[in-house]
């Protein structure tokens, strides 16, 4: 190449493809920038009648359009990004020489798909490949990502597919010696940017929301790594939304450590608005909740209206099981119990043997959390002998050592006196837990019904508590039970110890039910918006519900709220609106925000609370979707980002500028500026 021709010149870039240069050469071209010669020789002459007009190129075009460059040899203007990455021939090969309507031509090129695509073509396609993997719960990486590997992972597989379909992308990967975007580091950096951009959007939504509630759950994956997941719930455009925020890794399992971890996330978000957090709900660790020193109590010290409630997404029977599993013997029992459904879920052949003996299916085991519901306990208790016979059949017919060992282990378990004892206890306890759960989740539940259900539950568990001695005696008389001789020597002592443990378990369950269902005033407030009662309320104002609501949330203008409710009860148009969400939408749609200012605030509170009762309009539990996603992405780096892509896919898809925001953030990071 002629030494007088600079690497960034139009002549050079036409003759030599930019993507063929080394990193140092690309860096040099970038530092040199686009060539902007005066182009004094670029002159157009035109005649109109007898008059002759001469047009000269105006260098002000360079200042207005940062992509425009010129060539003083060809006396033409070009698009610098398109010269580097390919584009329309007139802007990359021949150049634009006709000055008539140049402004219109420039505008047309600026708006052209090709021009816009070239500026971020590669980054956008790589970003879309990453988002595709996240949206569909696909693992990014394979076991071996070398060129000749057959298992490079889904991400590189998608890249290969895109290269086959896109000539320009394939050309880049073949020619580029620097940025290809497929390295693990670049993937991680892009995922970090995706997470940050998504969280910025969530923060903007939270800032506009009047109230927020948090839903926190314990998630323990197959590697037994303890994590917390936090979800924010708030009202957005008249609808409740639940946004995944992230997984948290507390230093310990005590209340102080968990509280510190949670507050470190929510304090910067809520800033100096302590009244904004109006509900908190927890699942998992026993120290999460408690009347004296649980996490909920500590959070409420900073956020006075953050009432601890039972969330519809938390299964009460699983919560009960987790709380009593703090006892070692009970924890071992449930761990052993889980092995039985796992054994059958891994093999259709084993299930076929079970089906021949008894027409029953064990619940499918889920490895990411406890899976001990009433069906598991009942099935094993009621069909213990048949399952033992099934194990004998499998041992006789199987040729696999592992299967024989597992079947033998389960058979011994089903004849173990300690296991049978706890199986008998929970066979009596779990139906009452399940009954309480169903009552709490009922569509038309109210505080009176919940309090009545809790009282009945307490009485039933107390009956079991008082009959422990009889249960111990009946278990000892059951057939096919193996009691080791060493235990016979301390039989009486063992029974006393076991009885004390059962008493402790029963007491824990009762206390847990009381704690979790103590606050139900939000259900009382919801009674103010039952449309079928409006005619009755218009004649006799529901003072009891109203007083309970204002005591719970004293920041209302009480007189105005009462007046607004009275007006609402008298209006025929409101009587057709059944529920909180339709009422809120009706007020917003008809521009009555100021007229029903206090009612609007109360409606937003009720929408923000993850209600105990079923709401016909509520979205599918974000918490459940997170746990489903977690089963597919365990062990993946950047778990927060991958889960964010999957769970908040709709929010991300609705933001037309999401990719641009991510690419801009990525390009501005310290180590990425030179790549672009």
Mean pLDDT per 10-residue segment, the chain (676 residues): 74 88 81 90 84 89 91 93 85 91 88 58 72 69 49 66 66 54 72 92 95 85 69 91 90 86 93 91 62 80 89 60 71 85 79 74 47 71 87 87 90 89 88 78 62 82 86 72 54 75 84 73 83 92 92 92 95 88 92 94 90 43 62 60 86 88 78 46
Interacting residues of 78 by C-beta distance below 8 A, sequence separation 6+: 10, 68, 69, 70, 71, 91, 92, 95, 96
Quote the DSSP letter at residue 307: E
591 vs 586: CA distance, rounded Å? 9
394 vs 433: CA distance, rounded Å? 34
Going by C-alpha positions, the residue among 432, 137, 430, 440 that lies closest to residue 281 is 440
Going by C-alpha positions, the residue among 225, 222, 247 that lies closest to residue 632 is 222
Number of H helices, E strands in the chain: 33, 9
Going by C-alpha positions, the residue among 403, 383, 382 that lies closest to residue 394 is 403
Q: How far is CA 135 from the centre of its chain?
A: 11
Contacts 24+ apart (CB under 8 A), 148-153: none
376 vs 258: CA distance, rounded Å? 31
Let me know if 582 is exposed, middle or buried by CB neighbors in 10 A (0-12, 13-18, 19+).
middle
Instruction: Assess contact for 232 and 202: CB atoms under 8 A.
Output: yes
394 vs 403: CA distance, rounded Å? 8
Instruction: Assess contact for 197 and 658: CB atoms under 8 A.
Output: yes
3-state secondary structure of 242: strand
Phi, psi at 78, each rounded to 5°: -140, 170
3-state secondary structure of 282: strand
Going by C-alpha positions, the residue among 374, 483, 494, 394 that lies closest to residue 435 is 374
> Residue written as tokens 């390919």?
86
Report the predicted TM-score, pTM, of the whole model to 2 decimal places: 0.65
- Other beta carbons less than 10 A from residue 310's beta carbon: 26
Question: 96 vs 45, 47, 70, 484, CA distance in Å?
Answer: 15, 20, 9, 96
397 vs 410: CA distance, rounded Å? 16
163 vs 149: CA distance, rounded Å? 17
Q: Which two tokens stand for residue 422?
A: 């706890």
Instruction: Assess contact for 258 and 283: CB atoms under 8 A.
Output: no
Q: Which two tokens stand for residue 644?
A: 């964010």
pLDDT score of 191 = 86
Q: What angle do CA 508, 510, 512 make, to 5 degrees?
A: 65
pLDDT score of 2 = 58
């Amino acid at each position: 190449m002629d030494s007088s021709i600079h690497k960034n010149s139009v002549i050079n870039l036409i003759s030599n493809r930019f993507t063929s240069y080394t990193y140092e050469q690309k860096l040099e071209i970038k530092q040199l920038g686009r060539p902007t010669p005066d182009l004094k020789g670029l002159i157009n002459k035109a005649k109109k009648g007898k008059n002759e007009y001469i047009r000269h190129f105006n260098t002000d075009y360079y200042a207005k359009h940062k992509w425009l460059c010129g060539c003083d040899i060809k006396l033409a203007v070009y698009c610098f990004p398109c010269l580097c990455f390919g584009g329309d021939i007139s802007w990359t090969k021949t150049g634009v020489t006709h000055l008539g309507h140049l402004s219109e031509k420039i505008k047309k090129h600026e708006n052209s798909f090709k021009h816009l695509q070239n500026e971020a073509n590669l980054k956008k396609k790589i970003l879309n490949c990453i988002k595709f993997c996240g949206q569909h719960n696909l693992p990014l990486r394979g076991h071996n990502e070398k060129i000749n590997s057959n298992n490079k992972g889904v991400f590189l597989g998608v890249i290969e597919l895109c290269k086959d379909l896109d000539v320009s992308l394939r050309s880049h990967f073949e020619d580029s010696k620097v940025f290809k975007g497929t390295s693990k580091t670049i993937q991680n950096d892009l995922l970090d940017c995706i997470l940050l951009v998504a969280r910025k959007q969530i923060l903007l939504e939270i800032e506009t929301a009047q109230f927020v509630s948090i839903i926190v759950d314990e998630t323990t994956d197959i590697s037994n790594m303890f994590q917390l997941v936090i979800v924010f719930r708030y009202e957005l455009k008249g609808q409740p939304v639940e946004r995944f925020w992230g997984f948290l890794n507390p230093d310990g399992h005590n209340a102080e450590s968990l509280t510190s971890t949670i507050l470190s996330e929510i304090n910067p978000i809520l800033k100096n608005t302590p009244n904004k957090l109006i509900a908190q709900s927890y699942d998992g660790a026993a120290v999460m909740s408690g009347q004296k020193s649980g996490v909920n109590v500590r959070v409420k010290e900073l956020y006075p209206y953050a009432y601890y409630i039972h969330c519809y997404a938390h299964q009460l029977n699983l919560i009960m099981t987790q709380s009593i599993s703090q006892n070692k013997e009970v924890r071992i029992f449930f761990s052993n119990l889980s092995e039985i459904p796992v054994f059958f879920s891994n093999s259709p052949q084993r299930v076929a043997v079970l089906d021949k003996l008894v027409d029953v299916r064990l619940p499918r085991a889920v490895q990411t959390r406890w899976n001990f519901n009433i069906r598991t306990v009942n099935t094993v208790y009621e069909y213990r002998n048949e399952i033992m016979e099934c194990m004998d059949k499998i041992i006789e017919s199987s040729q696999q050592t592992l299967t024989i060992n597992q079947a033998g282990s389960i058979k011994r378990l089903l004849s173990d006196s300690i296991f049978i004892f706890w199986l008998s206890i929970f066979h009596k306890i779990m139906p009452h837990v399940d009954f309480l759960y169903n009552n709490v989740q009922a569509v038309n539940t109210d505080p009176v019904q919940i309090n009545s259900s809790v009282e009945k539950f307490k009485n039933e568990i107390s009956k079991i508590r008082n009959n422990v001695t009889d249960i111990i005696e009946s278990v000892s008389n059951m057939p096919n039970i193996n009691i080791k001789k060493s235990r016979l020597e301390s039989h009486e002592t063992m029974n006393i110890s076991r009885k004390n443990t059962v008493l402790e378990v029963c007491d824990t369950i009762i206390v847990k039910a009381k704690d979790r269902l103590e606050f139900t005033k939000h259900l009382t407030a919801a009674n103010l918006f039952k449309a079928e009662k409006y005619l009755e309320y218009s004649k006799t104002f529901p003072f009891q519900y109203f007083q309970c609501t204002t005591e719970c949330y004293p920041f209302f203008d009480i007189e105005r709220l009462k007046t607004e409710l009275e007006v609402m009860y008298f209006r025929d148009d409101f009587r057709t609106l059944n529920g909180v969400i339709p009422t809120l939408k009706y007020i917003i749609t008809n521009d009555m925000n100021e007229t029903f200012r206090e009612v609007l605030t109360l409606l937003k509170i009720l929408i923000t609370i993850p209600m105990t009762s079923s709401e016909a309009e509520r979205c599918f539990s974000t918490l459940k979707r997170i746990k489903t996603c977690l089963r597919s992405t365990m062990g993946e780096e950047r778990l927060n980002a991958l889960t964010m892509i999957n769970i908040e896919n709709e929010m991300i898809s609705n933001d037309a500028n999401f990719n641009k925001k991510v690419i801009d953030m990525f390009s501005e990071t310290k180590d990425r500026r030179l790549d672009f």
